[in-house]
A and B are shown apart, each in its own frame.
Chain A
Amino acid sequence: MAFVTSADSTTDIVRLDAKGLKCPMPIVRTAQAIKEIASGQLLEVLATDPGSVPDFAAWSRTTGHELVASDVDGGVYRFVLRRK
């Protein structure tokens, strides 16, 4: 039996710019945005709020949307989530 998967939907990455937003807005905007993408699709969020690092880890654990990447570059935090 073959399962057909749509590779396109998981390689298209939707980007959310949350730079400059203060707690809780990076997470709030992410919660809004993730509802609008398909299951399996990726969402990249950029933020400057340092509290967002533990926040995104906790949000991912609690909601079940996988945190695929979490890194920082020059004060900009980047989170990549996969909608469950």
Chain B
Amino acid sequence: MQVHWRQSLMSYTFLAPALILLAVFTFYPLLYGAYLGFTEYSGARFANHLPPQWVGLRNFETVLGDPLFRTALANSVKYLLVVPALQLASLAVAVLVAKNIPGIALFRAAYYVPVITSVSLAAVMWEWVFNREGTLNWLLRTLHLTTPEAAFGWLNSEQWAFWAVMLVTFWRGFGYYMVLYLAGLQAIPEELEEAAILDGASAWQRFWRVTVPLMRPTILLCTLLSTIAALRVLEEVLVLTNGGPLNSTYTALMYVYAKAFQGFDFDYGVASAAGLVVALVALLLSALNFRFFHREEQA
């Protein structure tokens, strides 16, 4: 019994640093942040040591009635279009690099390099690509798809900046998911693939009829991770366009960030309320994701 007591004391001593840090910087902000969503709390109140003031649902009315927030949320939802593209491409690339042919290790490693690239570096490099005189326009010109007169800066275009930012997300993500899919692929017994070959299935059929169904758990995990990340997109936008031009790349978390830390007075209450709305949408999407893949499994 005494040993038991000592073991408990020892356990909690060892756990203390992690528990304190998690309590202060993970759980407290979650609860307090949710509370702030229902209060009036500004930079001025905080500076004057005044407590947040309960205002009920007023912040949510403000947020949902704000055209900027609606644009931002719509952009974040539109950003989800990156998910199917990213997942399908990553899975296809994983299939492509799964076979051990000479030099394949080099390709796998090279595809992962964008993943370990800081978003700020990506911004520096991709700005050169998207520039009016950049490589993208050069490529299109070389392929005779545009003329020099028609060239424009992709990140300055209201129509194209959104897709340019998305391309950077895609670039930084496909190696990451490739690795996850590769791990899943290596768990598929080779016999299945061979049986399909013997049955005369083409590579296309094998991909859709053998690989994809067997990879469903991995696909669910990756889609989930990627969906939540896409809905929360902020960094790429901050470093590439800062929400512009004309709010065409302004996302929901950008709104949260700007309300809390930019402008004349910081509005933590409205920012937190907007954050809660985004969290709710993320939750809904996760549930949808699960349902979708679960139903397919039963079919």
Asked if chains A and B come from one complex, the reply is no
Residues of B that sit less than 8 Å from A by CB: none
A: residues with CB less than 8 A from B are: none
